[in-house]
A and B are shown apart, each in its own frame.
Chain A
Amino acid sequence: DIDDVGHKYYLELELEDVLDKDRTVNCTAEVLYHLGSQTSAPDVQVTVQGELRSTEEADKEFYTHIRSLEKELVAENIPDSHGNVPPELEPIHLLAWVASGYVIWQNSTENTKFHLAQVKHVKQVKRSDEDLQFDYVVLLHDMVSQEVLPWEVTLLWHPQRGARVSRCQAAGAGD
């Protein structure tokens, strides 16, 4: 407890590489939830102790592939109702996790627990610069309230520059 500021948490985490189960990396983090404020995202500082796997090859392949598409990529329901993700959409799925991570961070409090439930829709938008752009509608499930809510997120990605969220907002009420 930090008087007049908020609550700070000190974390020791072990990261597991989803694509390489035997690979783990330790990290430490400090998370500060601001007092009272429902509108401000928590402050997060992370230190990764060790190295993350290089994905240069796969990144380049994906980048080249998407840039070479004649028609912009469009997909929906990833995974589908049965939990399937077609292999060619797996990178899109992974980028959705990145995009969701941002949204979750921006909207987390000590009383939320979000997970990406599903990518409802994704549309690639061709750009004149070198970034790839994906406009996502992601469904985020909050374990505490049990609500599954749609969010619109625009993600920019480049093999060297990495991922950036350029826009996010809660989508219109669902069903």
Chain B
Amino acid sequence: HQVLRIKTKNEEEIKQLQLLESLEHLELDFWINPSARALPVDVRIPAVSVQSVKAFLESQGIEYSILIEDLQDVLDKEKQDMAESAQRQRSSSSFDFGAYHTLDDINAELDHLASEYSFVEKIRIGESYEKRPLYVLKFSTGGSNRPAIWLDAGIHSREWVTQASALWIANKIASDYGTDASITSLLDKMDLFLLPVANPDGFVYTHTSNRMWRKTRSKIPGSICVGVDPNRNWDAGFGGPGASNKPCSDSYHGPSANSEVEVKSVVNFIKNHGNFKAFLTLHSYSQLLMYPYGYKCTRPDDYAELESLGRAAASSIRSLYGTTFQVGTICKTIYQASGGSIDWSYDNGIKYSFAFELRDTGRYGFLLPAKQIIPAAKETWLGLKKIMEYVRDKSS
């Protein structure tokens, strides 16, 4: 079928077209009817009538042009476009990774990723003090208890760029499996466990009440103050220098190691799994890439290897936008801090334990503008990838 556009010059020509319109056997379909002289007349003509209609128009000196050469072609293409778009709609998120989200929205996105990808599973490793589920995304393409990598974010709730980056990273890994050689070989050999919101109670509190909240929201017996610093609560030099014994302090270590259910849940999960090779955790801000120890200022046995790997990761990060991360032990780089997670993981046999402090260095601090989320996530991912690739190669 063709669609013609007819430009009438006078009343006479319009009358002719109206005559044509009345000939029902031609089965002409006028998309714009011949009435007003100013508008062109568009008409769809069945294949069998095309030649005779054209002959008629030419004999009357009526000007026309071919608007659509072959209508079926157009329809076929449109159908294909729509199928592709629907496909993209199903597989792509309407989730804006470049914005900050509520806990509910984040959890919905975790569900979406798990339903979208067969090798992604959402598991619940425990619940918070206020009974919110602790959700971990498990990336596994098979095997049975493969060597695994742990990655968490948001243990300090006000560090919003970390939860946001974790979501971007989750999506990146899921969508690039099968096409990116590195991610594919990584997940073909190892499993990845990602906890994007390690402190959900604190996170909700930063949305509802105090954007600067850091700790958990547990009630402390004998105190009017609430919450424990979850990164001083691990069983690694617990209660030592660099943590406070005052409940009102933002670095309060808590009544005892693992007193916080958010910490205990992770500890139990990792111990029960028994085959973790790397433990990576995201914080902000300061742009640092650190390895143990924090609770003591002496170097770990694997100092040389961790320093070298850390430098390589920092180099990868810098390659993208020039963002510089300083590398070193926690104690030397930031401060002495006891009861930290990567000290615990390291002392429990997980050699490749690193803590990242993401953007920036103080200009916006915890209030990093949303437009920096994706750049921060992208550069951080390069650093994480470097470490994961190394661990993958070592583990095979």
Q: Mark B197-239, 1 if CB is under 8 A from A, else 0.
A: 0000000001101111110000000000000010000000000
CB <8 Å contact, B369 and A117: no
A contacts with B: majority SS: loop
CB <8 Å contact, A145 and B364: no
CB <8 Å contact, A18 and B212: no
Q: How far is the CB of A72 from chain B (nearest CB, A)?
A: 25
Other-chain contact of B210, A82, A145, A175 (Cβ < 8 Å): A175
Number of interface residues of B (CB under 8 A): 29
CB <8 Å contact, A146 and B369: no
CB <8 Å contact, A79 and B367: yes
Bound complex: CA of A79 vs CA of B229, how far in Å?
25
Bound complex: CA of A146 vs CA of B337, how far in Å?
11
For A114, the closest partner residue in chain B by CB is: B362
Q: How far is the CB of B287 from chain A (nearest CB, A)?
A: 12
Other-chain contact of A82, B100, B244, B250, B335 (Cβ < 8 Å): B100
CB <8 Å contact, A175 and B213: yes
Bound complex: CA of A79 vs CA of B367, how far in Å?
7
Interface size class on chain A is 20 to 34
Q: 8 Å CB contacts to B: which residues of A93-146?
A: 115-118, 139, 141, 143-146
Q: Which residues of chain A are within 8 angstroms of B213 by Cβ–Cβ distance?
A: 175
For A141, the closest partner residue in chain B by CB is: B365
Q: Which residues of chain A are within 8 angstroms of B364 by Cβ–Cβ distance?
A: 79, 83
For A79, the closest partner residue in chain B by CB is: B367
Q: How far is the CB of B396 from chain A (nearest CB, A)?
A: 40
Other-chain contact of A117, B99, B209, B365 (Cβ < 8 Å): B365
Is A81 on the interface with B (CB-CB < 8 A)?
A: yes
CB <8 Å contact, A146 and B367: no
Is B251 on the interface with A (CB-CB < 8 A)?
A: yes
Q: How far is the CB of B347 from chain A (nearest CB, A)?
A: 23
Is A163 on the interface with B (CB-CB < 8 A)?
A: no
Could you list which residues of chain B lie within 8 angstroms of chain A, going by C-beta atoms?
A: 99-100, 160, 206-207, 209-214, 229, 244, 249-251, 286, 334-335, 362-370, 372
What are 29 pairs between A and B in contact, CB < 8 Å? A18-B363, A79-B367, A80-B367, A81-B160, A81-B206, A81-B207, A81-B367, A82-B369, A83-B364, A83-B367, A83-B369, A84-B369, A84-B370, A115-B365, A116-B365, A117-B212, A117-B365, A117-B367, A118-B211, A118-B367, A141-B212, A143-B335, A145-B249, A145-B251, A146-B214, A146-B251, A147-B250, A148-B212, A175-B209
Could you list which residues of chain A lie within 8 angstroms of chain B, going by C-beta atoms?
A: 18, 77, 79-84, 115-118, 139, 141, 143-148, 174-175
